Amino acid sequence: MSLEAIESLNRRYLTLRNAEAVRVLKIQDEIVSEIRGFLKREGFVEILAPIIGPVTDPGIRGAKQVSIDYYGANFKIMSSMILYKQMVITSLPKIFALSPNIRLEPLETVKTRRHLTEFRQMDLEVANATYMDMMDLGERMFCHVITKMKQTCSKELREQKRILKVPRRPFKRYTYKEAIEILENLEICVKYGLEIPWDGEEALSKIHSEPFWITDYPVTARGFYYMEHEDNPTILKDFDLIYPEGFGEAISGGEREYRYDKIVERMRRSRENISDYGWYLDMLRSGIPLSAGFGIGVERLTRFICGLENIWDAVPFPRVAGVHSP
C-alpha cells in the first residue's frame, strides 16, 4: 500500500468530503435499501445481528478472530453469524441481517484491494432450502440490484464513468474442479483440496464479463457447517459467486450440515476444539432443520457497482489490515 493511500485513510475526516466519496455513500445507501426491499418481498424477516458470542465462524481462510474478556469468559467478535443463523431459522424460516464482521486479515490482503478487517455482510438463511434454491435467489437479487441502480443512481454512475450491465440468467456455473482446470490453463496451479488463492480468483474473474458461480468445493477447503454430497462426501453443496472484470469473490454460501453426529465428526477432522462449541452442540442435539444461505459483502458489492479500484473507498470508515486509521 502506498504512503499516499495510508495518508488518505488516516485523514478520512477530509477524504470523506470529496465528491466521489459522497457519491459512493449515496449509491451504497440505495444498494442496501434495494436488497432489503427485495428480501422483504421474498418473505424474509430482518433480524438484528449478533456482535459478540462464545464462538464464531472458524472458516475464515487465514484471518484471525478477535477475542474479548466477557466477565471472565473468552468471547469472540463475530467473524460471521453463520452459527446464529442456524439458531434463528428454528423459529423464523427466512431471515436476513446486515451483519458486521471483524477478521484480522493477513497483512498481504492489502494487495488484493478487496479485503477489509471490518466489513458487513447481508447475511441470509432459509430453512429447508437447497443450495440450488439459494443460487437462484442470489441471481435474482443481484439482477434486481443492478437494474435498480441503473435507474435510481444513473447520474452518480455516469459521474463514476461506470457502465453496468444486467447479467443474463442463469449465470455460468463451474465446479471447483473445472475452475482449477481453467486456472491450470492460465498457468496458475491450485492443489486440489485447497481454497482458490486470491490471485487465482482474480485471474478467473478477469476473464469473465458477467458474474459466475463456482460450486462443490472440496470438504478440506471449507468450514464444518457445509453439507457434503450424499454420493460423494469429499465435496460440498456450496458455492461462491465471483464478480466479473477482476473484482473477485462476491458471495459465499451453501447448504448446511445440521446433524449433531456429522458435525462432531467434521469438527474432529478439521481439528476444531469441540469444547469451544458448547451451546452450538447442545442446539444441534435439540434438533434444527436443514437450511441453506449465503452472505454477500456490502463493501465488495459497492466497490463493484461503483467500479472502485480499492474496497477501502467503498465504506465510510475503512479498516484495512495494518493501518491505524480513525
- 211 is a site residue for ligand AMP (CB under 6 A): no
Residue 103 binding partner per list ligand AMP, Mg ion, none, with a CB distance cut-off of 5 to 8 Å that depends on partner kind: ligand AMP
Q: Which stretch binds ligand AMP (CB under 6 A): 33-41, 114-122, 124-132, 204-212?
A: 114-122
- CA-to-CA distance for 307 and 254, rounded, in angstroms? 27
Any alpha helices (H) in the chain, and if so which ranges?
3-10, 12-15, 19-41, 82-88, 131-152, 154-159, 176-185, 198-206, 260-269, 278-286, 298-306
Ramachandran sector of residue 208 (left: φ over 0; alpha: ψ -120 to 50; beta: rest): beta
At 312, is the secondary structure helix, strand, or coil?
Answer: helix
Between residue 15 and residue 44, which ones bind Mg ion under the rule CB under 5 A?
A: none
The Cα–Cα gap between 269 and 228 comes to 14
Contacts of 17 (CB under 8 A, 6+ apart): none
Of 8 and 198, which has the nearer Cβ to Mg ion? 198
- When asked if residue 98 is in the footprint of ligand AMP (CB under 6 A), the reply is no
- The correct pick among 38, 84, 96, 119 for binding ligand AMP (CB under 6 A) is 119
The residue of the chain with the least Cβ separation from ligand AMP equals 297
| Contact map string, positions 41 to 80, toward ligand AMP, x by CB under 6 A | -------------------x-------------------x
CB of 211 to ligand AMP, least distance (A): 12
Site for Mg ion in 229-258 (CB under 5 A): 252
Q: 74: buried, middle or exposed (CB in 10 Å: 19+, 13-18, 0-12)?
A: exposed
Determine the Cα–Cα distance for residues 169 and 44; give it in Å rounded to an integer.
22
Interatomic CA distance for residues 293 and 93, integer angstroms: 11
- Name the minimum Å distance from CB 82 to Mg ion: 11
- Considering the complex, state which of residue 16 and residue 98 has its C-beta at the smaller distance from Mg ion: 98
- Report how far residue 206's alpha carbon sits from residue 154's, in angstroms, rounded to the nearest whole number: 25
What gap in Å lies between CA 133 and CA 92, rounded to an integer? 18
Query: Within positions 165 to 194, which residues make up the interface with ligand AMP, using CB under 6 A?
Result: none
Q: By CB under 6 A, tell whether 215 contacts ligand AMP.
A: no
Q: At its nearest, how many Å lie between ligand AMP and the CB of residue 72?
A: 30
Q: Least distance to ligand AMP from the beta carbon of 118, Å?
A: 8
Site pattern 241..270 for ligand AMP (x: CB under 6 A) = --------xxxx------------------
Distance of alpha carbon 260 from the chain centroid: 25
Interface residue with ligand AMP among 83, 227, 296, 314 (CB under 6 A) is 296
Q: Are 256 and 290 in contact (CB under 8 A)?
A: yes
How many residues bind to ligand AMP according to rule CB under 6 A? 17
Cβ 242 to Mg ion shortest distance, Å: 10
121 touches ligand AMP by CB under 6 A: yes
**Across the strands, what pairs with 98?**
122
Q: What size, in residues, is the chain?
A: 326
Q: Which of 94, 113, 115, 256 binds ligand AMP (CB under 6 A)?
A: 115
- Residue 212, C-alpha cell as written in the block: 459466475
Which residues sit at the interface with ligand AMP, rule CB under 6 A?
60, 80, 103, 105, 115-116, 119, 121, 249-252, 295-297, 299-300
Which residues sit at the interface with Mg ion, rule CB under 5 A?
252
